[in-house]
Amino acid sequence: MLSDLIREFDHLSDELLVAVRRGDEGEINQIDMQLQPLTRRIYDFDAGTHSEIMAQIGFFNRLAMRNCEDDFSVKRYTTMMSTLFARYLEANGTRKPFPSQLEQMSVADGYDPSLQELVLDSIPERVAVIGLDYRYIYCNSRNAEFHNKKPSDFIGKHMLDVIDQKRFQTRAKPRIDQCFSGARIRYTYEVSDAFGRLFEVHCRMTPLTGPDKVIAGAVLVLTMQPMFARTA
């Protein structure tokens, strides 16, 4: 059972904390060797109920928050969350299989594309999925290119790492908070890309929900219009 695996993990984590306080390196290494495969077992667990799905995703969200000062760990755990979302949270509540070659890719590499992600990379709009902690769960290629970055650069990053604090606090966060409350948001703004080109952006925010309508984040779709095209 998933709950048993998570309880075992929490118990070992408590023992690890005690060993760290004692400075017992032998015990630390021994516990760490148990935690790594246990984490993978939790990730590989095939959840059969909605409560198990949310517990599984919540587990990795908790690990990401616990290791928030370690960028590699945050990226690893939020990437795991991203692939779990793709595994379970289909719009119609059904699962779609991953291509076998994609399923075999290592999550620890930092980015684990799914069939859905490959489709989203082919559309002209910028697409991002933001978790309830304002960290990126997913970013398509078009959105990454706008910032002159790779999609993997976004996974696990807080929005403040991408946009400045003023834009986050006055424009993005209030609307995302509305989206987290269930609202569908549309608005327009102007922005320059990484190369200084000015665009008008039409942003649509939609709550990311599971089969029982529990909100787990926000889906952002941004349509770009070059400013010079409006006066041509």
- Number of other residues whose CB lies within 10 A of the CB of residue 60: 21
Largest CA distance in the chain: 70
pLDDT for position 88: 66
Nearby residues of 115 by Cβ (< 8 Å), 6 or more positions away? 96, 98, 99, 102
Structurally, how many domains does the chain consist of?
1
Range of the domain at 152: 46-231
Domain membership flag for residue 52: yes
Q: What is the CATH number of the domain that holds 119?
A: 3.30.450.20
The pLDDT value recorded for residue 91 is: 35
* Chain segment 198-217, per-residue pLDDT in tens: 889 999 998 887 656 678 88
Given a cut of 90, is residue 124 above it in pLDDT?
no
| Residue 194, pLDDT above cutoff 80 | no
Asked, for residue 38, whether it belongs to a domain, the answer is no
The reply to whether 40 falls in a domain is no
Tens digit of pLDDT for each residue in 139-165?
888 899 888 888 888 888 899 999 989
DSSP bridge pairs for 126: 222
Q: Is residue 55 part of a domain?
A: yes
Asked if the structure places residue 10 within a domain, the reply is no
- Give the per-residue pLDDT at 25: 87
Q: What is the mean pLDDT of the chain?
A: 78
Identify whether 72 is part of a domain. Answer: yes
Specify if 67 maps to a domain.
Answer: yes
Q: What is the pLDDT of residue 47?
A: 84
pLDDT of 104 > 60? The answer is no
Within a domain: 19: no
Task: Using the Cα atoms of residue 172, residue 175, residue 179 and residue 185 in order, give the sign of their dihedral.
Answer: negative
- Is pLDDT at 168 greater than 90 in this prediction? yes
SS3 for 65-106 is: HHCCCCHHHHHHHHHHHHHHHHHHCCCCCCCCCCCHHHHCCC
pLDDT above 90 as % of the chain:
22
